[in-house]
Amino acid sequence: MHSVLVIWNNPIPPNPDLSWPQLHVPIKVILSQNNSLNNRFLPYDLIETDAILSIDDDIQLRHDEIVFGFRVWREHRDQLVGFPARAHFWNGSDSSWFYNSDYMCEFSMILTGAAFFHKYYTFAYTSEMSPDIRNMVDNYFNCEDIAMNFLLAHITRKPPLKVTLHWSFDCVYCGSTLHDRPDHYAARSRCINWLTNHYGYNPLMYSQYRADSVLFKTRIPLGKQKCYKYI
């Protein structure tokens, strides 16, 4: 890990007495001018590495999960590599796409609340992607992750790559979150249909597999050590 960038998405600065964790790398706090979900994908000059681990403040990942995810991303640098997966499906009854977060045998999106991607995509999202899409994200105050999935799929014509067992993350210490809103899933379905109309097609592609450690769930001789303890 090179550094930690905290995108402070509240126009009110953090309390000076706020205690940050003691790490072996610098923590840099970026104060946003406005409360926009697009801020997480700005091409900040402080980003000095090719790889970005985008992670929400209510996500908890173990050290070995981060290391494994990064090593998988190194072999798939043009793809979105991450943990929670979602899918889109066609609803024939009303001729529209809908967003699905259920456990399923295929997926087409990786949530950027816990995902690796190349820093080029922050430039593409901010400078090459249509500003109408970023305006849509601001209007819905939702779907920046879906917009990033559409962008990568459109550029690469590849699906994202899921790693490990994680399908969702529960934050027992959190209050209300965006996905707790009653219209959250309906809004995300509307985003998919809006983006499909904007692109003129739906670029999202499905995948049916995930990446796990080579020795995951493999019985090994006593005294031998697995690559990772839990994955």
**Is 212 an annotated catalytic residue?**
no
Of residues 123, 205, 125, 119, the one with CA closest to residue 160: 205
Radius of gyration over alpha carbons of the chain, in Å?
18
* Bridge partners of residue 96, in order along the sequence: 91
Measured distance CA(4)–CA(25) in Å, rounded: 7
Determine which one of 17, 94, 145, 183 is catalytic: 145
Backbone φ, ψ for residue 138 (5° rounding): -65, -40
Q: Which residues are catalytic?
A: 145
